[in-house]
Amino acid sequence: MIESVSGAPVAEVTIKTGEKNAMANSLLPLEERNLSPDQVESLDKRRDLGHTLLVIAGQFSVIATILLLWVGQDLKYSPGWAHPMAYYFLLALILIVVFGVTGLVLRRGTPRID
């Protein structure tokens, strides 16, 4: 019996065709080899959402890079607590981390081969 990464037992599949690689895609992890079509569809949707969140994190990183041009000037010359560019930069950094980590978690596993 083979165990998956999560520790759940996976049924061992024996194929008696005489070929060395009888599967169409032998690079798939053991957990993904015997999925139903509905499970494959939900897996693809999860990975697509993860990819979308990674793209959003990348776009916010571009915005944060542009905001970085004004942060130093804003912190030096703005009076008191009035530092809007610094607050926008901090918000952009938080969004980058949240979207990036969430996207990476959702995209875990072997990517789809098109």
Q: Which tokens sit at 33? A: 């080899």
Residues 20 and 46 in one domain: no
Residues 27 and 47 in one domain: no
Instruction: At 9, give phi and psi (nearest 5°).
Output: -70, 140
Q: How many CB atoms lie within 10 A of CB 92?
A: 20
Residues 110 and 76 in one domain: yes
Residues 5 and 56 in one domain: no
Q: How many CB atoms lie within 10 A of CB 17?
A: 7
Q: What is the pLDDT of residue 1?
A: 46
**Whole-number Å distance between alpha carbons of 114 and 99:** 25
- The pTM of the whole model exceeds 0.85: no
Residues 67 and 108 in one domain: yes
pLDDT (tens digit per residue) in 57-81: 999 999 999 999 999 888 888 888 8
Residues 84 and 109 in one domain: yes
Residues 55 and 108 in one domain: yes
**Whole-number Å distance between alpha carbons of 43 and 23:** 19
Residues 39 and 8 in one domain: no
Residues 50 and 78 in one domain: yes
The domain total for the chain is 2
Residues 30 and 40 in one domain: no
Window from 21-25, 42-46, 51-55 with minimum mean pLDDT? 21-25
**Whole-number Å distance between alpha carbons of 7 and 10:** 9
pLDDT (tens digit per residue) in 81-102: 889 899 999 999 999 999 999 9
Instruction: At 2, give phi and psi (nearest 5°).
Output: -100, 140
Q: Which domain holds residue 111?
A: 35-114
